[in-house]
Structure 1
Amino acid sequence: MSAVHMQTLAESLVEAARRAGADAADALAASGQSTSIAVRGGTLEQADRAEGVEIGLRVLIGGRQACVSASDHSPSAIARMAERAVAMAREAPVDDMLGLADPDQLARHRDAGDLQIADDRPDPAPDALQDLALRAEAAARDMPGISQVESAHAAFNRQFLWLAASNGFSGGYGRSGHSLSCVAITGEGLAMERDHAGETRVWAADLPTPEDIGRLAAERTLARAGSRKPPTGAFPILYDRRVAASLIGHLLSAVNGAAVARGASWLRKDLGRPVLPDGFDLIEDPHRPRYPSSRPFDAEGLPTRARRIVEGGVLQGWTLDLATGRKLGMASTASAARGISSAPSPATSNVILTPGTVTQDDLIARMGTGLVVTSMLGASINGTTGDYSRGAAGFWVNNGRIAYPVNECTIAGNLRDMLMTLVAANDALPWRGTEVPSLLVEGMTVAGA
């Protein structure tokens, strides 16, 4: 649907809410379409296509709020939504921190064109996506030692969002996404191992070739042949760049204003204190062109901007929307995000950690004996204390060199201690929402054989 129609839907929701008795309201209208193709054994295995329009409304009455959503966007449905939302809000608990932005806080620039977050080329046809998937599968299958390719997958999506509010804000923009992935298998029975490769880009032109994706999936899989459990003990851990962002993700969760306001963050008393080694910056930049989470304004209509979450290792501030900022006596960092059926909450976009000056091989040599983690599963993370435990797989290092692949082990530590020992490599990959290089962590516990 056109931008004009999406604007009309969002603004109609706000008007209906005011007529139904809301003190204030904001609304989100989203149209989207997606196509997904999976192949196996050189033939089409699955094809999916979806498209539709969804609308969501939040109303506020005397410090109370309620959210409703629907896929029916007829005038009568919009009127019923507004009445239902107002009735729900009147029964909700009071939170005096709730409220829309003041008009003078709102973003003036509401066009995302300069961010280039929507591919301007024609949408790929299903047969073009199938060709990409088949080429990735063939490249993986042709590698000696690969017993089968579990799947190869290509997909495209495009959406358009429009946000309107009773404080006068009205703005929207489009997004696109292209993805390509492959999962390969080596060995048989109990000796079977698998690994994958996959990439996602805003613009198709920025994707690696299908052959690169397929070969990388195969190479990663073949490297896992003969995996075994590592020894148990205290060892350094090197988080490969494939998984290092998850470690920084725990830091981002701990500085989220919602967790801090609840007292449920292990960093709740550390504002202005070191949380990373000296020399590390953690920067959020929502204006990186062609990056998937770039945006000109947040979900409350505030202008987004670059900021330093950590500077020189020292924590500079929390990630805040309007409500959590008011609870903590601080201004919003224009970090509100929301879904169609949910209220705004704080979230980051395009986070970059300072890279190091050495290669991953240099860090492996420095380790001596330890574990390189390339994949993880399951998690036990205590958000209040920072206690950390995760299942892991990767490669064992002896005498500064990779000795053999490992699986079925657990790594454990405390996030506060772990993050203060970080050493970064220089191998961060671009195009990620969290751009983090390989990270060496000293003295974690490995539970293996």
Structure 2
Amino acid sequence: MTAPTLESLTHQLLDAAKKAGAEAADAMAVDGTALSIDVRKGKLEQAERSEGVEIGLRVLIGKRQAVVSASDLSARTIADMAERAVAMAREAPEDATLGLADPTELARGWDLAALELCDVSPEPDPAALEADARRAEAAAQSVAGVTQIDSASASYSRRSVHLAATNGFSGGYARSSRAISAVAISGTGLGMERDWAAESRTFQADLPDADVIGRLAGERAVARHGARKPKTGAYPVIYDERVASGLVGHVLAAINGSAIVRGASWLRDALGEEILPRGLSIVEDPSRPRISASRPFDGEGLAPQRRAIVEDGVLTGWTLDLGTARKLGLASTGSAVRGPGSSPAPGVSNIALTQGERPREALIAEMGTGLLVTSLIGASINPTTGDYSRGASGFWIEGGQIAYPVNECTLAGNLRDMMRRITPANDARAHLSYVVPSLLVEGLMLAGE
């Protein structure tokens, strides 16, 4: 017997929902396969494979809704899901902003081939993944000063999704990922320091060599050997490209429609105001080819939009799905994200911050004395006020040059002030979903020794 397609499963769910009494509904079916290999000390430590299909149904009755999901694809389960969802929706609280998209708003005629979301190459053999992990581990271990390898891994995943709704929308796509990572340790006992390197690509042919990834992890760990606490005071700080996207992430969280509706955002009153230095923009582009977060439509069937969230330093708008847009009297930005067991919520995809003209090394030379942050731990961030405090490690800068590695320090400031004082380098990596370069931030408080 032929297994049902994801498309047919979503339409079975919609039919069952209407039969059970739903006034409107949307359904999602997801088929995922993941394979990962871990090695340790030259031997296979763990091999893991997971695969399965999950289905989800959202039903609406008036201004009430309910969401249910399951991994059993039988006709009986689908009927039970629909009946249970309808019963739950009848008891749910009313929300005047609930509702599917108007058919005129739906995405149409997307070009999956242009997005290049899924590698057509065959799934890699487990032996090939193990070989990559072994090579990454061996390369990291070969770096002088590395005392042990914490982990070395290689993985592959493929995920297909189909979304359909009673407003006439029906569409699906698949995406793939291939990754290699390594974590190396230098020193011994209380003097141990660790660092990592990892790369992930949509297409296997684009993935860097495992030797390069492993060697970089080893070199980073050795560079951190002998770390100590830095000085306490107010200093300029450079967020390395590896962690700089976190700063932009705080901005994106603050302009998310859910936060704006709740009033729990440090940018809630900043629409139309300058929140970054002039000349800098944050652009979302969900249609970049071969990028992991690209998508032909959002979680409500709307076409994603390329938009400048911040343009020339000025905040231009919020990130909205249909529900938050209706609450604010605005239009959706095509930004709904969801899973089979959840209702839509706003979320961004591919983000790029304007790059600067100079390399990170030039910013280091310019800062004189300060901190280069390569790792962040913990977080105490007030989403309403923007007060910021995070543990950090990296390298102390003296005379515009790296002097020694540092750890066990805390950075503190206010995000509204910090973002207005950023200076970007030109080292962002174009293959990432968040293309954000290293960022120099003036005048942060640093608590060390």
TM-score normalized by the length of structure 2: 0.99
Q: 1:399 to 1:3 in 2, by over 3 A?
A: farther
105-114 or 168-177, which moves further after superposition?
105-114
Please state whether the residue corresponding to 1:408 is helix, strand or coil: strand
1:91 counterpart letter in structure 2:
E
- Once residues 125 and 307 of structure 1 are traced to their aligned partners in structure 2, the CA distance between those partners, rounded to angstroms, is 40
Alignment of 1:272-421 (within 5 A): 272-421=272-421
Aligned length: 449
Q: Which residue of 2 aligns with 1:206?
A: 206
- Once residues 341 and 382 of structure 1 are traced to their aligned partners in structure 2, the CA distance between those partners, rounded to angstroms, is 29
Alignment of 1:158-197 (within 5 A): 158-197=158-197
Please state whether the residue corresponding to 1:174 is helix, strand or coil: strand
1:11 counterpart letter in structure 2:
H
- Once residues 11 and 106 of structure 1 are traced to their aligned partners in structure 2, the CA distance between those partners, rounded to angstroms, is 17
- Once residues 407 and 109 of structure 1 are traced to their aligned partners in structure 2, the CA distance between those partners, rounded to angstroms, is 52
- Once residues 59 and 397 of structure 2 are traced to their aligned partners in structure 1, the CA distance between those partners, rounded to angstroms, is 56
Please state whether the residue corresponding to 2:287 is helix, strand or coil: coil
Please state whether the residue corresponding to 1:291 is helix, strand or coil: coil
Answer whether contact 1:380 1:390 (CA < 8 A) is retained.
yes
Tell me the CA shift for residue 109 of structure 1. Answer: 1.9
Tell me the CA shift for residue 294 of structure 1. Answer: 0.4
1:139 counterpart letter in structure 2:
A
1:140 paired with 2:140, answer yes
1:266 paired with 2:248, answer no
2:204 counterpart letter in structure 1:
A
- Once residues 383 and 99 of structure 1 are traced to their aligned partners in structure 2, the CA distance between those partners, rounded to angstroms, is 29
Can you list the C-alpha shifts for 1:85-104, whole angstroms capped at 9, x where unaligned?
11111111111001100011
Please state whether the residue corresponding to 2:333 is helix, strand or coil: coil
Alignment of 1:247-262 (within 5 A): 247-262=247-262
- Once residues 344 and 433 of structure 1 are traced to their aligned partners in structure 2, the CA distance between those partners, rounded to angstroms, is 21
Q: Which residue of 2 aligns with 1:150?
A: 150
Tell me the CA shift for residue 14 of structure 1. Answer: 1.2
- Once residues 56 and 356 of structure 2 are traced to their aligned partners in structure 1, the CA distance between those partners, rounded to angstroms, is 44
1:126 paired with 2:126, answer yes
1:107 counterpart letter in structure 2:
A
- Once residues 108 and 151 of structure 1 are traced to their aligned partners in structure 2, the CA distance between those partners, rounded to angstroms, is 45
Please state whether the residue corresponding to 1:242 is helix, strand or coil: helix
- Once residues 297 and 359 of structure 1 are traced to their aligned partners in structure 2, the CA distance between those partners, rounded to angstroms, is 36
- Once residues 413 and 136 of structure 1 are traced to their aligned partners in structure 2, the CA distance between those partners, rounded to angstroms, is 38
287-296 or 363-372, which moves further after superposition?
363-372
Percent identity over paired residues: 60
Tell me the CA shift for residue 395 of structure 1. Answer: 0.5
- Once residues 90 and 110 of structure 1 are traced to their aligned partners in structure 2, the CA distance between those partners, rounded to angstroms, is 36
Q: Which residue of 1 aligns with 2:112?
A: 112
Q: Which residue of 2 aligns with 1:12?
A: 12
- Once residues 111 and 300 of structure 2 are traced to their aligned partners in structure 1, the CA distance between those partners, rounded to angstroms, is 15
Tell me the CA shift for residue 366 of structure 1. Answer: 1.3
Can you list the C-alpha shifts for 1:423-442, whole angstroms capped at 9, x where unaligned?
00000012211110000001
2:391 counterpart letter in structure 1:
G
Can you list the C-alpha shifts for 1:48-95, whole angstroms capped at 9, x where unaligned?
000000001111111111111000111110000011111111111111
Q: Which residue of 2 aligns with 1:61?
A: 61
Please state whether the residue corresponding to 1:426 is helix, strand or coil: coil
1:338 counterpart letter in structure 2:
R
1:36 paired with 2:36, answer yes
Please state whether the residue corresponding to 1:442 is helix, strand or coil: strand
What are structure 1's unaligned runs of at least 5 residues? Answer: none
- Once residues 98 and 68 of structure 1 are traced to their aligned partners in structure 2, the CA distance between those partners, rounded to angstroms, is 17
1:49 counterpart letter in structure 2:
R
- Once residues 437 and 199 of structure 2 are traced to their aligned partners in structure 1, the CA distance between those partners, rounded to angstroms, is 16
Q: Which residue of 1 aligns with 2:74?
A: 74
Tell me the CA shift for residue 4 of structure 1. Answer: 6.7
Q: Which residue of 2 aligns with 1:437?
A: 437
Can you list the C-alpha shifts for 1:157-201, whole angstroms capped at 9, x where unaligned?
001100000101000000101110001111110111110000111
Q: Which residue of 2 aligns with 1:234?
A: 234
What are structure 2's unaligned runs of at least 5 residues? Answer: none
Can you list the C-alpha shifts for 1:266-316, whole angstroms capped at 9, x where unaligned?
101111110100000110000000000000100100011211101000011
Q: Which residue of 2 aligns with 1:23?
A: 23
Please state whether the residue corresponding to 1:178 is helix, strand or coil: strand
- Once residues 3 and 247 of structure 1 are traced to their aligned partners in structure 2, the CA distance between those partners, rounded to angstroms, is 45
- Once residues 246 and 168 of structure 2 are traced to their aligned partners in structure 1, the CA distance between those partners, rounded to angstroms, is 38
1:45 counterpart letter in structure 2:
E
Tell me the CA shift for residue 2 of structure 1. Answer: 9.3
Q: Which residue of 2 aligns with 1:244?
A: 244
- Once residues 295 and 58 of structure 1 are traced to their aligned partners in structure 2, the CA distance between those partners, rounded to angstroms, is 21
Answer whether contact 1:33 1:49 (CA < 8 A) is retained.
yes
Q: 1:300 to 1:2 in 2, by over 3 A?
A: farther
1:38 counterpart letter in structure 2:
D
Can you list the C-alpha shifts for 1:403-439, whole angstroms capped at 9, x where unaligned?
1000011101000000000000000012211110000
- Once residues 269 and 23 of structure 2 are traced to their aligned partners in structure 1, the CA distance between those partners, rounded to angstroms, is 36
Q: Which residue of 2 aligns with 1:422?
A: 422
- Once residues 414 and 366 of structure 2 are traced to their aligned partners in structure 1, the CA distance between those partners, rounded to angstroms, is 22
TM-score normalized by the length of structure 1: 0.99
